[in-house]
Structure formats: C-alpha cells, structure tokens
Chain A
Amino acid sequence: MPHSFPFLAPDQKKELSDIAHKIVATGKGILAADESTGSVAKRFQSINAENTEENRRLYRQLLFTADDRIDPCIGGVILFHETMYQKTDDGKVFTEYLKGRNMVVGIKVDKGVVPLAGTNGETTTQGLDGLYERCAQYKKDGADFAKWRCVMKITPTTPSNLAILENANVLARYASICQMHGIVPIIEPEILPDGDHDLKRCQYVTEKVLAAVYKALSDHHVYLEGTLLKPNMVTPGHSCSHKYSNQEIAMATVTALRRTVPPAVPGVTFLSGGQSEEEASINLNAMNQCPLHRPWALTFSYGRALQASALKAWCGKKENGKACQEEFIKRALANNQACQGKYASAGASAAGADSLFVANHAY
C-alpha cells in the first residue's frame, strides 16, 4: 500500500494525456458510432433498412465522410469492432480515413452486461478476459482510445452497494489495462433515466456512484490525466411528474461533478441517454453556461443525439446520402456551439439564461 510501482513511463503518460486533450479540444466532442450489430438492427428497423454488413458500412461512411464543416466539431469517433476493419468506397480503412481528418479513433471493448445474482436485476459488465491482448492489437490497428459501458438503475432498492462497488471495480480494471497499451480509457458509469425519481435523487445517486468510481481508479493506480469520463447528465426519471428547467439540470449535474471528479481529469463527455437531439444540445449548452467553476471540459459523446435525424433522412437509400449528411452536420455544429456555451437554439435566446440558475446551496 505505501509503495509505488510505477508502470507508466513519462513518455507513456504524456501520450495518454495528449490523446485525451486532443479528443476534448475546445469545441470538440465525440461521435459515438459504436452501436453493436444488435443495436444497429433496432435503428435500421425503424427506417425499414436491412441490417446487412454493407448497409452498416454505407451508413457509417456517410457520417465519416461528411464535409469539412465537422472538422472543428468532432475530436473522436468510437467504433464497433466490425467497423474498425471496414473501408470507404475508395478502399481506405475507416481508421486511416478518420485519422487523416485529425479525428482520434476509439473502440468499444466491453462485451455487454451480465446479471449480478442476488440483486434486483442489477448488472456488471464483462470483457476483461484477453483484454490485454485485444488492446495491444487495437492500438496497432489505429485505436487511441476505448470505451466501456457499465449500467446502473435507480429504484427504491437500487443501485445496491454491490452494484456500485462491482461496476466501479470493473471500470478501474478496464482502465488500467487500456493505459498499459497507450489507449485512453473512457469511463462510462451510466445511471439509467428510467423511473419516476426526481432530480435530487438522481444527483444523490450520481454523486455516490462517481465517488466510488474515482476511489476505485485511485486504488487501481489509474493515471487520471489520461482518462475521460462519460457520465449521464443528472436528470429526473423519465416518468417523474415534476418538470425541470435546463438550468436546473445543468446546476445539478455540474454540482455533482464538482463534488466527485478530480480536476486532473481533462474532460467529461456526456452520454445522451434517451434525450432528443435538441434536448441534448440545449442541456450541454446550459452546463457550459453554469456559473459554477468547471475545471474540466464539458462536452458530448453522443450516439442517437447526433444521428437520429441523419438516420431518418437516409432511410437506407443511396440518393438520400447528401440529406443524411446535412442532418448530421447540423447536429455536429449545434453541439460544437453547445460545448462552448454558445448555442442559440430555435426556441430560446443565448442570453438571459443566467437568471434562471438557482443558487447552488439548493443542490
């Protein structure tokens, strides 16, 4: 316990830190395009497109080859394993193409959730077996960051102590292994928005979960400057009857993060969960206008919140390619503004939001 056995050399630390900072550079965030084959099936089904490997390739290609308007918006792209090895029509591997556009390539490395026996439907996440070797290979194949998603839920009996500890621990193991191979781990302890709990309850649970995550990262000797956090925003449950303003959501979220995320962490890249594209942008914008001091970048790592309209515009038809890309570019630009607190959404004005922030001792 009192002795240090450093496993990262100074140049390794520098590499990790540089990668993390590059991903969350001003105005930039992450395109989460790592939907597994099964998840893509659900998306494609909603637009009546067939879930074939070629369709998946064509769709991702549309996103990745959008014109240079997305260059200042996208710092990193998370890929699913299959996509890492697919190519553009010109025969260029996606990873190489994205790197050529100065975007950092990331890879989803977890293998999905598994139940925790004796709990009320809670889970942990698997994927540690052989992760060491897989990371080495992914690094060779062009990945510089990775993503691993843990899931918790709020009910009268959850999350339990076990769920919090187990998920925090597995996230720390994953992070430690990634760093040994020059891969920046994105740590995702998602607390689902399902339920009728209010904002305060979500804030309380998020604070406890994040405190456990950072204690586990410390115990596992993870180099925080070379990591990123991908948390849920603090929101009320989906079926909560009370409605909250974007400023209340921002205040609760930033307060929770200020109480738990050490300043050494370069960036927080929110997941969008079930939020609509516009909601996700407006909330992110409110975070970046919050009057509380924020020592890390607050940006996006959005899947659906960047792709929903694009997917709808595409509908699996080649002739809709341009329209699809335009929708994606629109969202990318909106989030580029939002992560700088400069987003003026259609219904609201950029100014005048300040007065809507309630004093922070209410949180």
Chain B
Amino acid sequence: MTHQFPSLSQELKKELSDIAQRIVAPGKGILAADESTGTMGQRLQKINVENNEENRRYFRNLLFTTEPSISNCVGGVIFFHETLYQKADSGKLFPQVIKDQGIVVGIKVDKGTAGLNGTNGETTTQGLDGLSERCAQYKKDGCDFAKWRCVLKISDSCPTALAIAENANVLARYASICQQNGLVPIVEPEILPDGDHDLLRCQYVTEKVLAAVYKALSDHHVYLEGTLLKPNMVTAGHSCTKKFTPQEVAMATVTTLRRTVPASVPGICFLSGGQSEEEASSNLSAINQVPLHRPWKLTFSYGRALQASALAAWQGKAANKAAAQEAFCSRAKINGLAAKGEYKPSSAADTASMQSLYMASYVY
C-alpha cells in the first residue's frame, strides 16, 4: 500500500496523455459508432432495413466518408469489433479511413452486462478475460482508445452499495489493462434515466457513483491524465412529472462533476442516453456556459444523438446517401459548437437572458 511499483513508463504516460488530449481537442467530441450487431439491428429495423453485414458496413461507410471531413468536430470514433475489420467502398480498411482524417480510432471492448445475484435486477459488466491480449491486438490494428460501459439504475432500492462498488472496480480493472497496452480507457458508469425520480436525486446518485469510480481508479493505480470519462448528464427520470431547463440540467451536472472528477482528467464526454439530437446539443451547450469553473473539457460521445437524422434520411436507399451525410454533418457541426458553449438553438433566448436562468450553485 505504501510502496509504488510504477507500471507505466514516462513515454507511455506521455503517449496516453497525448491521445486523450487529441480526442477532446477544443470543439471536438466522439462519434460513438460502436453499436453491437444486436443493437444495430434495432436501429435498422426502425427504417425497415435488413440487419446484414453489408448494410451495417454501408451505413458506417456513409458516416466515415462524409465530405467535407468531420475531423473539425470529431476527435475520435468508437468502433464495434466487426467494423474494425470492414472496408470502405474504396477498399480501404475503416480504421485507416478514420486515421487518414486525423481522427483517433477507438474500440468497444466490454462483453455486455451480467446479473448481480441477490440484487433487484442490477448488473455488472463482463469482458476482462483475455482483455490484455485483445487490447494488444487492437492497438496493432490501429486503435488508440477503448470503451467499456457499466450500467446502474435509480429506483427506491437502487443503486446498492454492491452495484456501485462492483461496477467501479470492474471499470478500474479494465482501465488498468488498457493503459498497459497503450490504449486510453474511456470510463463509462452510465446511470439510466429510467424512473420518476427528480433532478436532485439523480445528482445525489451520480455524485456517489463517481466518487466510488475515482476511488477505485486510485486504488488500481490508473494514470488519470490518460483517461476520459463518459458519464450520463444529471437529468430527472424519464417519467418525472416536473420539467427542468437545460440550465438546471447543466448546473446540476457541472456541480456533480466538480465535486468528484479530479482536474487531471483531460475530458468528460457525455453519453446522450435517451435524449433527442436537439436536447443533447442544447444541454451540452448549456453545460459549457455554466458560470462555474470547469477544469476539464466537456464534450460529447454521442451515438443516437449524432446518427438519428442520418438514419432517418437514408432509409436504406443509396439515392439518399448525400442527404444522410448532410444530416450527419449538420449534427456533428452543431455538437462541435455545443462543446464550446456556442450552440444557440434558433428558438432559444440570447446568452445574456440565459445566464439568469442558472440558479446559484449552492442550491445543488
């Protein structure tokens, strides 16, 4: 406990730190294109497209070859395993297509959730077996960061101490193994928005979960400067009757992060959860305007919130390719602005009048 056995060389630390900084460079965020085969099936079903390998390749190709390049607003792309070894229409491997645009390649490495016996439907996440060897291979194949998603939920009895401790621990193990293999770990402790709880309840739970996550990362000797955090924004539950403004969401979120995330973490890339594209962008922009000091980058790691319009425009038809790419490009640009606090939804008031909507932080 009192002796240090350093596991990362100075060069490796610098490499990890540089990768993380590149991903969250000002005005940039992450395109989460790592939907598993099953999840992609759900997306494609909505537009009546068959879930086969070619269609999945086609759609990712559509996103990755958008012109002009999305590299001005996208710093990293998360891949699913299958996609890492697929090729663009040009015959070039997808990781190379992304790297050629100066964007960092990432890979989802977890193997889904598994039940925690004796709990009220809570889970942990599996995927640690052979993870070191897999990471080494992914690094060779062009990846520089990884993603692992843990899931917690809010109910009258959840999350329990076990769920919090177990998920924090498995995230720390994953992070430690990634760093050994030159991959920046994105740490994702998602607290689902399901339920009728209010904003304050979500804030409280998020603070406890993040405190446990960073204690676990410390215990596992993880190099924080070479990590990123992918948390939920602090929001009310989906079925909460009270409505909260983007400013209230932003204030609660930033307050929570200020209380738990050390300044050495270079960036925080929010997941969009069930939010609409517009909601996700407005909230992110509000977060970047909160009048509290924020020492880390606050940006996006969006899946649905970047792709929904593009999918709807595509409808599985080649003729709609350009329209789909334009829709995608538009969302990417908007989120790039939101990551700088510069996105103003056309119907929203100007910055000055929005400022007054931020309640003093000591209420949170």
Contacts and interface: CB of A to CB of B under 8 A. Distances in A.
A165 to B, nearest CB: 10
Interface stretch (B134-142, B207-215, B334-342): B207-215
A189 B1 CA distance: 17
Contact of A295 (B200, B205, B295, B360): B295
A361 B10 contact: yes
Interface size classification for chain B: 35 or more
Contacts of A154: 2
A13 B218 contact: no
Interface in A195-244: 200-201, 204-205, 207-208, 211-212, 214-215, 218-219, 224-225
A3 B13 CA distance: 39
Contacts of A353: none
B262 interface: yes
A10 B4 CA distance: 42
A341 to B, nearest CB: 17
A279 to B, nearest CB: 25
Contacts of A158: 2
B218 A361 contact: no
B114 to A, nearest CB: 21
B263 A225 contact: no
A263 B211 contact: no
Interface string A12-30: 0110010000000000000
Nearest to B257: A263
B348 interface: no
B2 A157 contact: yes
A3 B4 CA distance: 37
B325 interface: no
B14 interface: yes
B258 interface: yes
Contacts of A160: 1-2
B49 interface: no
B111 interface: no
11 contacts: A3-B204, A161-B1, A214-B215, A215-B215, A218-B259, A258-B262, A258-B264, A262-B258, A293-B263, A295-B295, A361-B14
Interface of A: 1-4, 10, 13-14, 17, 154, 156-161, 164, 200-201, 204-205, 207-208, 211-212, 214-215, 218-219, 224-225, 255, 258-264, 293-295, 359-362
Interface of B: 1-4, 10, 13-14, 17, 154-161, 164, 200-201, 204-205, 207-208, 211-212, 214-215, 218-219, 224-225, 255, 258-264, 293-295, 360-363
Given A201-B4, A225-B259, 7 more contacts: A2-B158, A4-B201, A204-B2, A259-B224, A263-B258, A295-B293, A295-B295
